[in-house]
């Protein structure tokens, strides 16, 4: 019954989140042109629109924040004269839903969110291989799947955020590194996300595991003994695990959260777009941190595979990814011909120390580390997913 109830609630949320946009003519204001049915984009891709499915519809499961997702789907709909629906879900929800749909998905493509579910879905044979024309603009190998099942569009950097007033009132030091977070003074003061639902939390777990293991592997995965001892202590200081990775950032400016762990671009959104620039402080861990890779992919069994390919090319264009900075998403972009968000540069995100993150191990062992994490922390109401 709990499973059925969760699915019913998720379906209701999907219907509420869905947005429909359409246009009857192809828009070429960005410098692209159309001759007969061939669309040629100035940033380097061509699409034969005569191959589009006759109903001219596309549905997107989105893991990025909704304003960005809405802008992207609206722009794609206008450019190619299709109806484009979007459904915003957390990374964990995306993986769960697609696995439940088991090759008969309600959506055609994925856009945004960490690559953890993308890799899990690739392993489950639930993504469609596609060698995108614009993948040549992704220079670093870890920003795209080696077998062309997903392509990166942005990276987001992990860090800490805090409410300046509450930290001062409580006479707390501002944490500067990961080990600071497990000090007794932060008991009941920390908020971060639930690894059962949020890709952000999975990245936190992988990051700490890799840093604490110092390269030591046992049985094909990093020795996570020290990391799990760390998480027991962090759990004692954690007041809430939010469903979404951006949950802490949404609370910290209001003072509902004293200290949060999450992506720094989410905190910047709260500072710049929500008016909390005086309330929020951000910290990059002094010993180093990791970053997510936000991606896009086509779903196996998509009802509109040719339109989905057009979306994939569009998603890898500067026109698309640069919309992030105009819609509250300040991640760094992985395309070599895209303009980086100036707000993120001004906030110092470009100079943050990052670790040599083992993406291959994360692809293989994230599920194992999350299971170990859940065995080692208190299973209480903070872990409810619905």
Of 26-35, 82-91, 288-297, minimum mean pLDDT range: 26-35
Position 1 scores a pLDDT of 40
Confidence grade of residue 293 (pLDDT, cut at 50, 70, 90): very high
CATH code for the domain defined by 158-291+350-383: 3.40.190.10
Position 146 scores a pLDDT of 94
Q: What is the pLDDT of residues 172-188, one digit of tens each?
A: 999 999 999 999 999 99
Pairing of strands 190-193, 217-218: unpaired
What is d(CA 88, CA 373) in angstroms, rounded to the nearest whole number? 27
Handedness of CA 37, 110, 124, 225 (dihedral sign): positive
Residue 32 pLDDT > 80: no
Q: What is the pLDDT of residues 232-251, one digit of tens each?
A: 999 999 999 999 999 999 99
Q: Which residues pair with 241 in a beta bridge?
A: 192
Position 10 scores a pLDDT of 44
Of 25-34, 112-121, 172-181, 323-332, minimum mean pLDDT range: 25-34
> Are 2-155+292-349 and 158-291+350-383 equal in CATH topology?
yes
Position 258 scores a pLDDT of 98
What is d(CA 91, CA 150) in angstroms, rounded to the nearest whole number? 15
Q: What is the pLDDT of residues 323-337, one digit of tens each?
A: 999 999 999 999 999
For range 24-38, the mean pLDDT: 49
Contact 22, 82 (CB under 8 A): yes
Which residue would you say has higher pLDDT here, 16 or 271? Answer: 271
Confidence grade of residue 73 (pLDDT, cut at 50, 70, 90): very high
Residue 96 pLDDT > 90: yes
Position 3 scores a pLDDT of 43
- Tell me the pLDDT of the chain averaged across its residues: 90
pTM for this structure?
A: 0.84
Position 17 scores a pLDDT of 43
Position 385 scores a pLDDT of 52
Q: What is the pLDDT of residues 335-359, one digit of tens each?
A: 999 999 999 999 999 899 999 999 9
36: helix, strand or coil: coil
Contact 31, 78 (CB under 8 A): no
Position 354 scores a pLDDT of 95
What is d(CA 120, CA 52) in angstroms, rounded to the nearest whole number? 29
In the chain, where are the structural domains located? 2-155+292-349, 158-291+350-383
Structure-token match 């339109």, residue found: 307
State the fold for domain 2-155+292-349: D-Maltodextrin-Binding Protein; domain 2 (3.40.190)
53: helix, strand or coil: coil
DSSP-derived secondary structure for 87-152: EE--HHHHHHHHHHHTT--S-SEEEEEEHHHHHHHHHTT-EE----GGGGGB-SGGGB-TTSS-EE
Contacts of 165 (CB under 8 A, 6+ apart): 255, 279
């Amino acid at each position: 019954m709990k499973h059925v109830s969760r699915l019913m609630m998720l379906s209701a949320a999907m219907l509420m989140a869905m947005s429909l946009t359409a246009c009857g003519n192809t828009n070429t204001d960005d410098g692209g042109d159309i001759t007969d049915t061939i669309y040629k984009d100035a940033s380097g891709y061509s699409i034969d629109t005569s191959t589009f499915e006759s109903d001219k519809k596309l549905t997107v499961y989105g893991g990025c924040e909704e304003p960005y997702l809405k802008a992207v789907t609206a722009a794609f709909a206008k450019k190619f004269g299709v109806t484009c629906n979007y459904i915003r879900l957390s990374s964990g929800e995306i993986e769960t839903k697609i696995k439940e749909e088991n090759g008969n998905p309600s959506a055609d493509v994925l856009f945004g969110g960490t690559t953890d579910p993308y890799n899990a879905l690739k392993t489950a044979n639930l993504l469609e291989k596609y060698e995108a024309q614009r993948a040549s603009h992704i220079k670093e190998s870890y920003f795209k799947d080696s077998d062309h099942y997903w392509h990166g569009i942005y990276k987001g950097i992990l860090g800490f955020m805090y409410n300046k007033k509450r930290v001062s009132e409580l006479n707390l030091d501002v944490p500067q590194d990961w080990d600071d977070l497990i000090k007794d003074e932060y008991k009941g003061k920390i908020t971060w996300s639930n690894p059962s639902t949020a890709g952000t939390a999975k990245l936190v777990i992988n990051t700490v595991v890799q840093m604490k293991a110092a390269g030591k592997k046992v049985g094909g995965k990093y020795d996570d003994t020290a990391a799990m001892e760390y998480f027991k202590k962090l759990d004692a200081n954690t007041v809430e695990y939010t469903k979404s990775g951006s949950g802490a950032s949404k609370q910290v400016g209001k003072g509902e959260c004293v200290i949060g762990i999450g992506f720094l671009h989410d905190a910047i959104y709260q500072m710049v777009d929500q008016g909390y620039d005086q309330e929020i402080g951000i910290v990059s861990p002094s010993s180093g941190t990791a970053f997510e890779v936000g991606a896009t992919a086509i779903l196996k069994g998509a009802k509109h595979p040719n339109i989905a390919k057009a979306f994939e090319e569009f998603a890898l264009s500067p026109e698309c990814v640069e919309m992030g900075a105009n819609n509250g998403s300040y991640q760094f972009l992985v395309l070599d011909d895209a303009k980086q968000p100036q707000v993120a540069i001004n906030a110092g995100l470009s100079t943050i120390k990052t670790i040599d993150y083992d993406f291959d191990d994360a692809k293989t062992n994230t599920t194992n580390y999350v299971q170990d994490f859940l065995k080692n922390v208190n299973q209480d109401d903070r872990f409810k997913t619905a």
